[in-house]
Each structure stands twice: as C-alpha cells, then as structure tokens.
Structure 1
Amino acid sequence: MSKGLQIAEPPRRRQSGAGEASTERNKSVEFTKFDNVAEDEKVQFNKRVTRRVADGYEILAIRTRRKVPDLLAEALSLLEEKHGKV
C-alpha cells in the first residue's frame, strides 16, 4: 500500500468569535461609490497568439511606454491603410 502524499496539514479554521469581531469593524468603514466611467465602449479581446507575438507586444509596450491595447489599435490602423478598411 502507498503511504500517500507527505504534505503539511491545512491551517486550522478560525473560531467563530474571531469572525464576529472583524465584521463589526467592517461595518464602521464607509465605502465611496464607484464612479469610474469608461471613455469609450470597450470589450475584452481574447485571441490566441504565439508566445513570441505576445512577448513582442509586451516588450514594445514597455519600450514605448504605451499600453498593449493602444498598440493593437495602431496596428489595426496600419493594416487598414495597407489592405483597406473592413
């Protein structure tokens, strides 16, 4: 028979009295309303690319001190100039 994995025991659960004290503390804190407004309508862009392409965009973003979405937008405009708009 195998002995199984030799790992440490999980941490012990906190006592219920400790949890009540932290909730009382959280009730006294006031939160401000989230007021961040997006400039434009934005969507998430998930496409698979090679690691080389992803690293290239990250390095270019670091070197030019720009964000990757800005670089993608510029790449699209350059491609539209070359091949025409879609």
Structure 2
Amino acid sequence: MSQEKQATERFPYRELIQRMTDISPTGGCRAVLLPAGTPIDECQKLADALKQVMPIPPLVICGDLQPLDEAAMNAAGWYRK
C-alpha cells in the first residue's frame, strides 16, 4: 500500500466513540464496551490513551456483551451470597 493511500485512510474514531458504551457495574469501577470487529490494536491504543488521561482508567472490552438476568446467572453457576 502506498504512503499516500495510508495517509488518507484513517480509522473511524468518531464512529467508534459514538458506538462505544460506558458501563459502570459497581461504585468506582468502569468499563468501556467497543463494538465487535474493532481491531485489537485500536482497542489497545484507546486503552493506552485512557490510562494517560484518567486517574483510574476503565477496562476496555472489545466484542459483544449481553446482560444476564438472575435466573441465567444462577444456571451458569453465579450465585448471590
């Protein structure tokens, strides 16, 4: 691939940020969910950037994440104490 073509092809960060989901499952813990198909090197770049600007960086998750109800969690072996 030529340098000119590489310079004009950019990763669609704006679209990624619009599709990104912020998850806060517990009190100071945060996670950022990126859409499935996001290149792993872009996930790593985002995680590194968040480490630079946040005192406690969130966990970066790449892929599909689906919430489970209590019955499904119990069936999978996760029990509340």
TM-score, normalised on structure 2? 0.19
Higher relative contact order (CA 8 A, sep 6+): 2
If each structure's helix is expressed as a fraction of its own residues, which one has the higher value?
1
Give 1 or 2 for the bigger CA radius of gyration.
Answer: 1
TM-score, normalised on structure 1? 0.18
